[in-house]
Amino acid sequence: MLEKPMLAATPHVNDGADPRRWAMFFVILVGAFLPPLDFFIVNVALPDIGSELHASSAAQQLVISSYASLYGIMLITGGRLGDIYGRSRMFFGGIVGFAIASALCGLAWSPWVLIAGRALQGLTAAIMAPQALASIQVVFPEAEKPRALGIYGAVFGLAAVFGQALGGTLIALDLFGLGWRMIFFVNLPIIALVTVFGLPLLRETRAERVRRPDVIGVGLSILTLACLIVPLIEGREAGWPVWSWVLLAGAIVSAMTFWRYESRLAASGGDPLLDPAIVRTPGMRRGLLVTLLFYAITPFFLVLSIYLQEGLHETPLAAGLTFLPFGLGFLLGPLTTPRLSRSFRYLMSIGMAMEAVGFVALAIIVGSAAGHPAPLAVAAALFAIGFGQGLALPTLVRSITQRVSPAYAGTTAGLINSTLQISGALSMAIIGGIFFATVGAQRDGAAVVHGFVVAMLCIGVSLGSAALLSVRLLRPATV
């Protein structure tokens, strides 16, 4: 979820600028703020959630994976629903649904209720977020769009990188004795204010050329991802029973069925969720593979939070504040990209390599420490990881989107966004599973440290592989 917002295909723009456009813009910013905030804010709270709800390690992984999976799969469809039924209407439906999902998470009385609420959060966020970005394209004149999109991206990034610190602060304050539940309830007053005072400011817009939702494609993609993630997470704790292998085999069958259906739909002139023509673009498959490997960083936030709170016995607030050097690096990275790109040809690969080195360094720092590792060394490694992420992400997106013609730009942007989220869900299942398997059921201090080191090395290997593959990305080609 650390990706910056990517532009959809530009909808029809009315040359007459709406005088209320900046007031509308502040309403739209909620759509930039809440989805990344709620993806990250939960990481620092999971140790407390696990204790109170008696959630297993598998359930804790699913709290994150369920959100990422539904958000990633439904992003493209959410945008199409806005094109058909109106962006203001779907934004309203998405934000109200997000409030209901947040309330369900805050009231959760069992791990599975929380997981269901998180899945609903991901679904409704995928309906809300595309409307916000498309509305910017509609209501602002060309001269003002760069400024509006820059502010939008900054708010998105701030929510993503400071979600950990905010989560730790809310838990430390323990408002009304609600503890971790406040990280979800905090959404309700924000959404209430936006609904009452902000939504009347929005202007209804629709696309001139409507692309119908690919309902069957969405269903098959959800089935495929569920057949992968559930056995990878739950199968480990259950001792890999027969049903876990059956589901993994079912994922292969479902994926093949999805591809065949999408190919037939495209050949018949329909609007597939995944256009095979884009995937067949030279270098596209390599680019998507790099994207999958690159976003294996997702488990890092949960693993570091558990290490700090259970391995070092830090408070949630201290754990949340530990992430700030990463956030600072992530914000500074994109700001230096334009200047550095003129001097360094392989900036994307350099950024990924910097992340890989940062994760290996973090593993060495923690693994070699007798007790608490040196704070400055940890902060330096976290800053390097964040800075590398900030360097690599925009150049990765640009290197993939420039391979296709402008007619495919919106679909490609949606595909990249979805790939990032799906990578997050899968890496949480795989690397998160390795971490919890290494730690074991007791989760004592030494085991947590060992699990942390192993997980950081796994993420480092994934990012190192992404860096090597990214060097060989082909030159732009168009379909």
> Over the Cα atoms of the chain, what is R_g?
21
1-6+24-199 has CATH 3.30.70.100 classification: no
Average pLDDT, the chain: 85
**How much is the pLDDT for 415?**
82
**How much is the pLDDT for 7?**
46
16 pLDDT above the threshold of 70: no
258 pLDDT above the threshold of 80: yes
DSSP of 387-453? HHHHHHHHHHHHHHHTTS-GGGHHHHHHHHHHHHHHHHHHHHHHHHHHHHHHHTTT--HHHHHHHHH
End-to-end alpha-carbon separation of the chain, Å? 28
d(CA 156, CA 5): 7
The pLDDT confidence band at residue 392, using thresholds 50, 70 and 90, is confident
pLDDT, greater one: 90 or 458: 458
Q: What is the pLDDT of residues 203-247, one digit of tens each?
A: 776 666 667 788 899 999 999 999 999 999 988 888 899 999 999
6 pLDDT above the threshold of 60: no
Note whether 1-6+24-199 and 277-479 share their fold. Answer: yes
Contact between 4 and 331 (Cβ < 8 Å): no
**How much is the pLDDT for 114?**
97
Residue 174 one-letter amino acid: D
d(CA 251, CA 422): 14
Look up the CATH architecture of domain 277-479.
Up-down Bundle (1.20)
Domain assignments of the chain as residue spans, ordered by start: 1-6+24-199, 215-272, 277-479
**How much is the pLDDT for 18?**
66
Residue 45 one-letter amino acid: A
Mean pLDDT of the 154-162 span: 75
364 pLDDT above the threshold of 80: yes
Greatest mean pLDDT range, 103-112, 226-235, 274-283, 328-337? 103-112
d(CA 28, CA 88): 10
What is the total residue count of the chain? 479
| 108 three-class SS | coil
Which of 164, 154, 450 has the alpha carbon at shortest distance from 326? 164
Mean pLDDT of the 74-89 span: 83
100 pLDDT above the threshold of 60: yes
442: Cβ contacts below 8 Å, ≥ 6 apart:
none
d(CA 120, CA 459): 28
357 token code pair:
């080195």
Residue 460 one-letter amino acid: G
Contact between 59 and 25 (Cβ < 8 Å): no
**How much is the pLDDT for 13?**
45
d(CA 143, CA 160): 28
**How much is the pLDDT for 8?**
45
The pLDDT confidence band at residue 414, using thresholds 50, 70 and 90, is confident
216 token code pair:
């069957």
